Amino acid sequence: MMAQLELVHPTPLELTSAEPRGDHLVISRMVNEGARVLDVGCGDGALMQLLARERGARVRGLEMDPNKAHRCVVRGMSVVQGDAERDLNEFPSGAFDYVIFSRTLQQLRRPQAALKQAARIGERVIVSISNAGRWDKRFQLLGKGRLGESEWLHRYTVRDFADLARDMRLGIERAAPLSHGHAGAPFAKTIWRANWFCEEAVFLLTP
């Protein structure tokens, strides 16, 4: 059962002054001012805090790890402690302007089911992924015959994910490649070049 956690400190805390993560900066530029946002797998709430501060967004998080959910609360963010694979279907249709998976979707056992729920809940869906099709990973596979260990349950190339979105009838409104934490990687002006050269990509999808 989902548990809504609320701020207990009189003043929200800035837990870190470090530079925001690259995909977080790209995502923040895709979100309209004052939007209603659900951050799925929100971690410690860093993206939520950025969106609230920079975009005036009304952000809610969904996080399974109780320690990370607690850090969101300390930041002053509204978070629901729950499992995305089980609990997304409890949110009403059209409840948010954006549903975000920031390096989250590939860690789910059933990513397509989660995407389907996100497209029902939100008017737009934003997904950042790690690109398994980058050139160095291809050479690693060619030379060693293996990709090596990964933190991801599912590995997508940029093209794989673009095809998945189209198969699910999700329109790709924008797609941004990133390398070394910065948007606009060299030679990544098209999604096909991004498939070879970028480390990550952020997709803005419309149901």
130, two tokens: 């790690």
Which DSSP helix (H) or strand (E) runs through 201? strand 200-206
Residues forming beta bridges with residue 38, ordered by sequence position: 60, 99
State the pLDDT at residue 196: 81
Each residue's pLDDT tens digit, 97-120? 999 999 999 999 999 999 999 999
State the pLDDT at residue 12: 56
State the pLDDT at residue 95: 96
Nearest to 179 by CA among 162, 160, 168, 194: 194
Compute the Cα dihedral for 5, 95, 123, 33 and give only its sign: negative
Which residue stretches of the chain have pLDDT < 70? 1-17, 147, 185-189
* pTM beyond cutoff 0.85: yes
Each residue's pLDDT tens digit, 41-68? 999 999 999 999 999 999 999 999 999 9
